[in-house]
C-alpha cells in the first residue's frame, strides 16, 4: 500500500514542487514531515530566496514559498505589475 508521504512526493515531483511550507516552518521533499507530522496548513512550495520572505542572510539553510504561477500568487504578481 502506498503511504500518504509517497503520494505527496510523487505529486510534488510531477508538478515541480520542492517541499511543503506554512507560516511557521518548511520541509524539503527529501525530508518531509521533519516536524513529526503533516499539518492541515501545509502548502506545496518551491525553494525561494529567503530574503524574499523577509529573512536575513544565513538565517536558514533554505526557504520554501509559493510558486509565482500558483493562482493566489499570480494574481498578486499581476496586480503589482499593473499598478
pLDDT reported for residue 31: 86
What is the tens place of the pLDDT at every residue in 30-43? 888 777 767 778 88
pLDDT reported for residue 83: 47
- In this prediction, residues 56-73 reach a mean pLDDT of 74
36 with 53: CB under 8 angstroms?
no
- In this prediction, residues 48-70 reach a mean pLDDT of 79
Collect all residues with Cβ–Cβ distance below 8 Å to 67 and sequence separation of at least 6.
16, 17, 45, 46, 73
Q: For residues 10 and 80, what is the distance between their CA atoms, to the nearest angstrom?
A: 33
Is residue 13 predicted with pLDDT exceeding 90? yes
Q: For residues 5 and 2, what is the distance between their CA atoms, to the nearest angstrom?
A: 8
* % the chain with pLDDT above 70: 76
Amino acid at each position: 500500500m502506498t503511504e500518504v508521504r509517497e503520494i505527496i512526493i510523487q505529486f510534488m515531483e510531477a508538478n515541480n514542487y520542492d517541499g511543503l511550507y506554512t507560516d511557521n516552518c518548511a520541509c524539503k521533499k527529501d525530508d518531509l514531515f521533519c516536524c513529526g507530522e503533516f499539518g492541515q496548513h501545509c502548502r506545496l512550495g518551491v525553494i525561494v530566496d529567503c530574503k524574499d520572505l523577509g529573512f536575513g542572510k544565513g538565517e536558514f539553510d533554505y526557504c520554501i514559498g509559493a510558486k509565482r504561477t500558483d493562482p493566489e500568487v499570480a494574481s498578486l504578481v499581476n496586480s503589482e505589475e499593473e499598478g
